Amino acid sequence: MTSRKWIALLLTLICFLTGLFLPALTVRLQDIHLSGSHWPLNHANGHYAYQGTLLNRVLALNAHLNSSPALFLTNREPADIPSGIIETLNAFLPVSVDHYEAAETFTLVPRQYAAEYRYAEAIFTGENYSLTVIIDEETGLPLRIELTAEPDIISLYLNENGLWGSLTKYANTLSLGELADGPTGISTLIQSQSAQIRGTQLGVTVTAMPSAGTLLFKLTGSVSP
Amino acid sequence: MKLREQLLFRCLAAAGLLLGLFGAVLLASSFDLQITRERTALETRSDDLANSLESSAVNYALQGIPLTDDLLVSVLRQLDPNAGLYAPDGSSILNASSPMSSDGITMNGQMLQTVRPVHLAGDEYHLLITADLSPLYASRSALLGGYILIYLAFMLLFSVFMLAIARRITRPIENLARISLNISEGALNQFVPEEGSCETIEMARSFNRMTHELTNRIERQKRFIADLTHEMKTPLTAMIGHADLIRSGRSKGEDAMISAHLILSEGKRLNALTARMIELILLGQEDFEPIPVSVQSLIEETADSLRHAAEQAGVKITTSHGGGAIPGDPVLLRSLLTNLTDNAIKSGASSVHIGSCLSGGYATLSVRDDGRGMDEESLHRITEPFYRVDKSRSRAQGGAGLGLSLCAEIARLHGSMLKFQSMPGKGTVVSLTLRGEEDDEA
C-alpha cells in the first residue's frame, strides 16, 4: 500500500472517530460550561405587581371596616361602577335598583407590604330603600351589600326565601363555588347565617334585622395559624 | 491510489464529520433548550411560591396574627414541602444550606436552584427552590448511547452503499483502461461496453468510435502496403529477369534490345508509381491556405494540357463553364481535374467533356465521357488505392490504380467528395461540388 493510501486511510479514520465522539465531547464541554452557571432573575420583585388574592382583598376590606391598624386607606376619589352590577343586585334583592347616587373608589395598603387593593363603593337610594355596595375592582364581585328598607319588605323577603335561600342567592351571584353548611344564629332582633365556600378559606354571611329594616350580605375570609 | 478508494475514503470522511457535527449540534441545542425550559419553569414556580407566601403573610397581618419563623415554616411546608427559606440575616430557617448564594438561578451539579427575595412583614427573607435535573441528564446519556449505535450502523451501511456506488462509477473507467492496454498490446478489435451514466456512455462511444476508425485506418494501410508490394514486385521481377538474360548473354541482339526496352519501361512505371506515392503521402500531411481559383482557367488549362494526348487516342475534348471561382489550392485542383480527364481519355471514349456550373453559392466541376463505364461493384471500390477496373489494360497504359485515390484525397482536403455516375457501355460522369463564388469581373 502506498504512503498516500496510508495517509488517506488515516485521515478517514480520524474523521470517523471525530464523528463518533464529537457529540460526547460537546456534551462534556457543555456540562463544564453549565457547571456553576448563574443567571439573574428576570423579575426579582415581579411578584409585587400583583393585586393580591381575593382572600387578601376580602380580609383587607373587613379589617378596614373593623378599623384595623394593619392597613391604611389611600386615594378615595369619585368613579363609575360597572353597569352590570345593577342587574346583579336586582337579581336577588327585594327592591328594584335603578341607578347609583354616588360612587367612589378607594385603595387599601397593608402596612409593611407593597401590595395595594382597590375597591369601588356605590350608594343607591330609592323611595323605600337605601343600598350601599362595595365592589372588588379586580374581580367585579360585590364583597359587601348593605340594604336598608321598610321592615315589611325585609320581613316578606325573609319569609319567602329564608336566611339560607338568601345566602344561596348571594353565593350564586359570587360564583365562587358550592356552600358548605354553616352556623345559624337567630335572635329576636338579629338573624344571621354563615357558610363556608367549599374548598376555600372564604365564606358568605347574611345578617338581617327585620325590625330595623336592614339586610347585610358580605364575603368573609379567615386564616388560622 | 485507485479512484474507487479515493471516492470511498472521502465520502466516508465527509459523512462521519457531518454526522458528528449534526449529532453534536442536535444534542447540545436540545439539552440547552431543556435547561432553559427548566429554568423558566423554576423561576415561575419561585414567583408563584413567593406570591403565595406573601399573600399568607399579609393575611396573618390583616388578622393581627404575628408572623413568627415557626408560622412561616408551617405555611411554606403547606405550600411546597421542598422549598427552603433563609432568614433576613442569611441563616437557614427551612431546608436551606449555608451560606446562602446570591439571588438568581444557579446550576449546582445536576440541580438547578433559585434564590429569590421575598418581603415579609418589612423584612427581606430569601426563598430557595431546587429542581432535580438528573432525569434530563439520564435522558441525554441515553440519547448519546443511541447516537453512537445509529452512527456505527449508518457508517457501516453508508460504506457498503458508497463501495457499490464507487464501483459503479469507476467500472467504465477501469474497463477503458483495460481495453486501452489490450489495444496498445495489439488486440485491436476490442470495444468498451456502453453502460453507466450519460457521461460514461458518451466516453465509451467516443472511445469505440476512435478504436473503429483506428482499426479501419490500420487495415487500409495494411492493404495499401500489400498492394504496393505487389505492384512493385511485378515490374521488379520482370526487370530482374530481363537484366539476368542480358547479363548471362542469353539475350542478344534484338532480344537484348527488347529486354532493355522492357527494363526501361518498367523502370519508368516504377518511377511514376513512386511519384504518385509521394504525392499521396504528402497529401495526407497537407495543410494549405485556400485561395480563389478561377474555374475557367482551371478547365481550359486542363483541357489544353491533355488535348494532344487525347487527339493521339482519337478522343475529342470539349469544355464549358459557368465562370466563378473556387477557394482551394490551384495545383491540387489542377491535378484532380487532370487525373479525372486522363482517366476519361483512357476509358475508350470518343469524346470527353469538362464542365462546370455555379448555383446557390456552390460550383460543380464535372468530367463526362462516353467510354466503357463501370458496374456497381467497381463504382464502390473505384477510389481505393491500386484498384483498377480493367487491370490488364490499365497496366498496359502505365497506370498504377492510384489516380482516383489521389483525386478522392484532394476532394476530401477541399471539404468535398467525388460523385460517380456510370453505366457499363454508356460512359461515366465524375462530379465534384465545392463552395464557389462569382467572379469579380462577372
What stretches of B259-382 adopt beta strand conformation (E)?
291-294, 316-319, 325-328, 351-359, 362-369
Closest chain A residue to B35, measured at CA? A34
pLDDT digits (tens, 9 = 90+) for B233-267: 767 887 888 888 888 888 888 888 888 888 887 78
Residue A136 within any structural domain of the chain: yes
- What does the CA dihedral B179, B180, B184, B185 come to, rounded to 10 degrees? -20
Please check whether residue B126 is in contact with residue B107, taking contact to mean a CB–CB distance below 8 angstroms. Answer: no
CB pairs under 8 A between A and B: 168
Residue A30 within any structural domain of the chain: no
Residues of B in contact with A15 (CB under 8 A): 12-14, 16-17
Mean pLDDT (whole number) for B316-332: 85
Mean pLDDT (whole number) for B65-70: 89
Q: Which of A14, A17, A27, A48 to mutate to test the interface with B (most CBs of B within 10 A)?
A: A27
- pLDDT for position B183: 85
Distance from CA of A1 to the nearest CA of B (A): 8
Domain that holds residue A54: 47-221
- pLDDT for position B254: 86
- Please count the structural domains in chain A: 1
Mean pLDDT (whole number) for B320-328: 85
Distance from CA of A162 to the nearest CA of B (A): 31
Query: What size, in residues, is chain A?
Result: 225
Top CATH class of B3-136 equals alpha beta
- pLDDT bin (cut points 50, 70, 90) of residue B29 is very high
- HEC secondary structure over chain A: CCHHHHHHHHHHHHHHHHHHHHHHHHHHHHHHHHCCCEECCCCCCHHHHCCCCHHHHHHHHHHHHCCCCCEEEEEEEECCCCCHHHHHHHHHCCCCCCCEEEEEEEEEEECCCCCCEEEEEEEEECCCEEEEEEEECCCCCEEEEEEEECHHHHHHHHHHHHHHHHHHHHHHHHCCCCECCCCEEECCCCEEEEEEECCCCEEEEEEEECCCCEEEEEEEECCCC
CATH architecture of the domain with range B199-283: Orthogonal Bundle (1.10)
- pLDDT for position B441: 45
Residue A158 within any structural domain of the chain: yes
Residue A56, pLDDT > 60, answer yes
- Look at the alpha carbons of B389, B395, B398, B402 in this order and tell me if their dihedral is positive or negative: positive
- pLDDT for position B442: 38
Taking the CB of residue B423, how many other CB atoms lie within 10 A of it? 13
Domain residue ranges of chain B, discontinuous segments joined by +: 3-136, 199-283, 288-435
Residue B231, pLDDT > 90, answer no
CATH architecture of the domain with range B288-435: 2-Layer Sandwich (3.30)
- Of B32, B220, B164, nearest in space to A31 by CA: B32
Percent of chain A residues topping a pLDDT of 90: 55
Residue A47, pLDDT > 80, answer no
Mean pLDDT, all residues of chain A: 88
Residue A174 within any structural domain of the chain: yes
Mean pLDDT (whole number) for A112-134: 91
Place of cell 485542383: B333
- pLDDT for position B277: 65
pLDDT digits (tens, 9 = 90+) for A71-83: 999 888 998 888 7
* Complex ipTM over 0.85: no
